[in-house]
Structure 1
Amino acid sequence: MSHLAQQALPLRPITGLAPEMSDAAAVRGVIAGSREMFEVIVRRYNAQLYRVGMAYLRDHAAAEDAMQNAYLKAFLHLRHFNAQAAFGTWLTRIMINECLMILRRKKRSMMETIDDSEARPGRQLRAMVAPDALANHELKSLLEDAIKTLPRVHRAVYLMREVQELSTKETAQCLSLSPTNVKVILHRAREGLKSQLMKSAAGVELFDYTAVYCDPMTSRVMSAIRSV
């Protein structure tokens, strides 16, 4: 990234960070020279990008690699963000591109059809114990494993809409789909999972990105940003 590093923003440390700061304000601060302001963005979007990574890659380490690369690219190209779309959508698109690059490097298929013959979550779930007999952490693990069996586009739509709580429009923009397709895919993703399991899982935080992961990731990203 030597040619990108030459375009990097100057370092101007700040004394405090405001979690309630808007994305636009944080972006303006970084462009103005306060690299440390980028930490606001990293902490705010860690969970969302992690869920995107798990939807595409189904692997914790690979998702974190994609996150770090996505943040660094976003930082280096921050001046190109034109604010016509939401910042979160722009950042999510960068993350998706990173995931696709990882998949290409692994020579895996870039796309999965919604009727992928290998995705049979219903068959697996029928043999599972009733959700109401499980502890929350067991249910969470069970549901995450079931979601991993869905086709990639189903995983992405389900996690963005049901877990991250993005709107249909936002999800469509992130995934380059039409709002109608998002609705259809979400319906099929729900149908692919056992209905009773879904009902019992209401309110369970899926693929959460706790401080155990969030703090080291934030530290790594900020360290990389300070070095360019």
Structure 2
Amino acid sequence: MKPIKQIHNKLIQKCKKHNEKAQLQLYKAYCNAMYAVACRYMKDSVLAEDVMQDAFVKAFKSIHTYKEEVAFGAWLKRIVINTCIDELKKNKPVLVAINEEVITDEVLEDNSWQVDEAVTVSMIKKAIDNLPPKYSVVLNLYLIEGYDHNEIAEIINITPVTSRTQLLRGKKIIKETLKTLSYAEGC
């Protein structure tokens, strides 16, 4: 049996030659994972599916630029994230830079992400989903995708300080939400 990477590489080569069957196979191999990525950014599942499909169209149009320097899934994921962010910018102009406040280094270095033992992953995901997009996008990019503030600033066209501020504000809202949830569940 051939390793999956070899199969995917052959499919990618066929896609570069505009082979529609290969495109469909590659789509089927990655659509569920890319849909999950899109759902982290889009609050509506139908919109997430539309964005994911738009991202695949973009990927197939620019597949000739894929150089195998990173895994195909990582390359595709970046396209999905960028397509989500473009859609958020287009429909909700909330990703503009906020007034930059003076924030002490102590606050910026706050890396305490500890939560109560009763808090579940689904509670955290729900809290992130309920955040305004300007916070949820930064939280997703920072916590889940692993981007730093300079990369986030470049991706969504804000300053690194704004990225940090939105991360901290989002984190504060989530902590308050989780406190409320854990009090409610403890009753």
Residue 78 of structure 1 aligns with which residue? 62
TM-align CA RMSD: 4.3
Amino acid in structure 2 at the alignment position of 1:74: A
Per-residue displacement from partner, 1:115-173 (whole Å, max 9, x unpaired)? 8xxxxxxxxxxxxxx94235xxxx23322221122220210111121122234344333
The counterpart of 2:153, out of the listed 141, 164, 172, is 172
Query: What is the TM-score normalised by the length of structure 2?
Result: 0.57
Residue 188 of structure 1 aligns with which residue? 169
Instruction: Please tell me whether the aligned partners of residues 123 and 178 of structure 2 are also in contact (alpha carbons under 8 angstroms).
Output: no
What are the ranges of 5 or more consecutive residues in structure 1 without an aligned counterpart?
1-15, 104-108, 116-129, 199-228
Residue 50 of structure 1 aligns with which residue? 36
Separation of aligned partners in 2, 1:114 and 1:145: 25
Shift of 1:44: 5.4
Query: What is the TM-score normalised by the length of structure 1?
Result: 0.49
Separation of aligned partners in 2, 1:177 and 1:70: 23
Separation of aligned partners in 1, 2:2 and 2:150: 30
1:96 to 2:85 alignment:
yes
Residue 94 of structure 2 aligns with which residue? 111
Shift of 1:35: 5.1
What are the ranges of 5 or more consecutive residues in structure 2 without an aligned counterpart?
68-73, 99-114, 180-187
Shift of 1:190: 1.3
Separation of aligned partners in 2, 1:171 and 1:25: 33
Check 1:25–1:113 CA distance in 2 against 1; reply closer, same or farther (3 A cut): same
1:1-228 equivalence runs, <5 A: 19-20=4-5, 30-33=15-18, 38=23, 43=29, 47=33, 50-55=36-41, 57-75=42-60, 77-78=61-62, 81=65, 87=75, 88-100=77-89, 103=91, 109-111=92-94, 131-133=116-118, 139-194=120-175, 197=178
Instruction: Please tell me whether the aligned partners of residues 17 and 37 of structure 1 are also in contact (alpha carbons under 8 angstroms).
Output: no
Shift of 1:90: 4.3
SS in 2 for 1:177: coil
Identity of aligned residues (%): 19
Separation of aligned partners in 1, 2:49 and 2:146: 21
- Structure with larger RCO (C-alpha < 8 A, sep 6+): 1
Separation of aligned partners in 2, 1:142 and 1:20: 35
Check 1:20–1:99 CA distance in 2 against 1; reply closer, same or farther (3 A cut): farther
More helix, by proportion: 2
